[in-house]
Each structure stands twice: as C-alpha cells, then as structure tokens.
Amino acid sequence: MTYCVSDIHGNYEGYIKLLEKINLSEEDTLYVLGDVVDRGTGGIKILQDMMMHYNIIPIIGNHEYMAINCLKFLNQEITEESIAKLNEGVIQGLLEWQNVGGQATIDEFHKLNPEEKEDIIEYLEEFSSYEEVSVNGKDYILVHAGLSNFSPERPLEGYHISEMIFETPDYDRVYFQDKHLVTGHLPTRCIEGNEGQDKIYKANNHIAIDCGCACIDEGSRLGCICLDTGEEFYV
C-alpha cells in the first residue's frame, strides 16, 4: 500500500500513532510531504525515526527548506571565518525561521551529539522536492505546497524547490487531466468549500491532506490517505 501524510510539525506522538494505525509494513510505502519539523517539540525525533525506515520517503517542505541552512550555520564552530559569514541574509533566515516555529527544532537540535547533528543535516539534504507515483494505474504528483508559475507543458524537474513549497495551488483548477496533485502546507479547513473541516479534501484532481495537526485547537488532526484504497486515516 502507498500512503501519504503531511505537516506533522513535531507531533511525535501523532506520528507514532499514525504508523500504528495504518500498520505500516515493509511492503508499504509512506510518503511524508514535508513540514515534519517546527512548532511541536518532536520534529527531530520524528526525522530520526523516519531515517531508519527505507520505506518512508521524505519530500521537502518550506520548514525543512528554512531549517537546513540555519542548522548548518548553527552547527559550525564559532571561528573568525564563521563570524565573517554571519551576514544579513543568514540572520534574516534565522529570524524568519524562528517566526514560524523554528525555535522548537533549534532547542531539540542542541541536545543532539555531533554525530546525530550531522545525520540530521545529511538526512534533510536528501529530501526530494517532489515525487511521482502510479498506484492502480492512476498517476499522482506529490509535492509539499503546489506548483507556482504552473503551465501544463512545464516539466516537473524544471521547477525550482521554492516553486513547490510556498504557494498553495488553486484548488478550483484542474492542473492535470490525467494526474492527481497531492499537497499539504495549507490546512484543509482553509480551503474554500471545506471550511472548518479538518478532513482530507478531494476535488478537481486535488488531494489536500494537511488536516491542521499543527493547529492547537480542538478538531485539528493528522490525516493520512491510502492511495490504493482511498481510505482516510486520522489521529
């Protein structure tokens, strides 16, 4: 079976419960569509578990994109050289990351030993920007947020990462007649026509799966879809 989940945002307990709920076996594949880290306090712990599973495939989200550069910077020794590199861009990157919940990840990162820190940075650098899968003869494009500057003729490998992780797609628009676009990033409760519902959204060849697990109010959940059966799982 092929499963997709997104925007776990440091909710380690939810992640573990989900693995149990879908009963992820060695023959299954779980795609994680980005934003594993930040806000919640268990993002690094989730990454450490993910990297132990060859059948959990990570796709980059805007939070990982911000985290990579910042963690690399924080992981170097303080030398004249590193201080010289501390320019406005680096500082702004750190501040922006903190503004969106990066501090939880920084705190967790600081508790790791040097080898674990290296492993996390290396693992984050392995994340793909998107994945294409076929299940039961149906084609899916898995990407964190959407496809900015979309044109049906544009090859997927021609998109820059930044065009796939920040901008939400137009859920009223069919992007590909013959493919489904699976996305996270925007809690589905914010999609027009799905207001207030923390539920997987399916329409116009879109499958939106961020069920607001990072929102702390009641009802917010971690959603997961099985592409083979269409079955939805929530924790």
* Smallest separation (angstroms) from Mn ion to the CB of 37: 11
Check residue 6 for interaction with Mn ion (CB under 5 A). Answer: no
Number of shown-chain residues binding Mn ion (CB under 5 A): 4
Q: Are 226 and 30 in contact (CB under 8 A)?
A: no
Per the CB < 8 A criterion, the answer to whether 12 and 230 are in contact is no
State the minimum distance, in angstroms, from the CB of residue 23 to Mn ion.
27
Whole-angstrom CA distances from 63 to 74, 114, 131, 195 are: 16, 22, 18, 25
3-state secondary structure of 4: strand
Q: Does 62 bind Mn ion (CB under 5 A)?
A: yes
Task: Return the number of the residue (73 or 166) whose C-beta is nearest Mn ion.
Answer: 166
Helices (H) and strands (E) in the chain, counts: 8, 10
Nearer to Mn ion, 96 or 139 (CB): 96
Q: Which residue is nearest to Mn ion (CB)?
A: 185
Shortest CB 51 distance to Mn ion, Å: 20
Q: Please list, in sequence order, all residues whose beta carbon lies within 8 angstroms of the beta carbon of residue 44, skipping any fewer than 6 positions away.
A: 37, 105, 108, 109, 112, 120
Contact yes or no for 30/131 (Cβ under 8 A): no
- Minimum CB distance to Mn ion smaller for 64 or for 108: 64
Residue 39 or 199 having the CB closest to Mn ion? 39
Q: Is 61 in the site for Mn ion (CB under 5 A)?
A: yes
166-171: list long-range contacts, CB under 8 Å, 24+ apart: 166/62, 169/145, 169/206, 171/201, 171/203, 171/204, 171/206, 171/208
Q: What 3-state DSSP class applies to 157? A: helix
Stretch near Mn ion under the rule CB under 5 A, chosen from 54-62, 80-88, 189-197, 221-229: 54-62
Instruction: Indicate the residue among 185 and 199 with the shorter CB distance to Mn ion.
Output: 185
* Residue 93 C-beta-side C-alpha neighbours within 13 Å: 19
User: Please, where are the H alpha helices in the chain?
Assistant: 12-22, 43-50, 62-74, 80-84, 88-99, 102-110, 114-126, 162-165
In the complex, least distance from residue 62 CB atom to Mn ion, rounded to whole angstroms:
5
Q: How far is the CB of 35 from Mn ion (least distance, A)?
A: 4
Please, which residue, 10 or 117, has the CB nearer to Mn ion?
10
Residue 61 Cβ vs Mn ion, minimum distance, rounded to whole Å:
5
Q: Interface residues for Mn ion in 163-222 (CB under 5 A)?
A: 185
- From the CB of 181, what's the least distance to Mn ion, in Å? 15
Site mask, Mn ion, residues 16-45, x = CB under 5 A?
A: -------------------x----------
Q: Give contact residues for Mn ion (rule: CB under 5 A).
A: 35, 61-62, 185
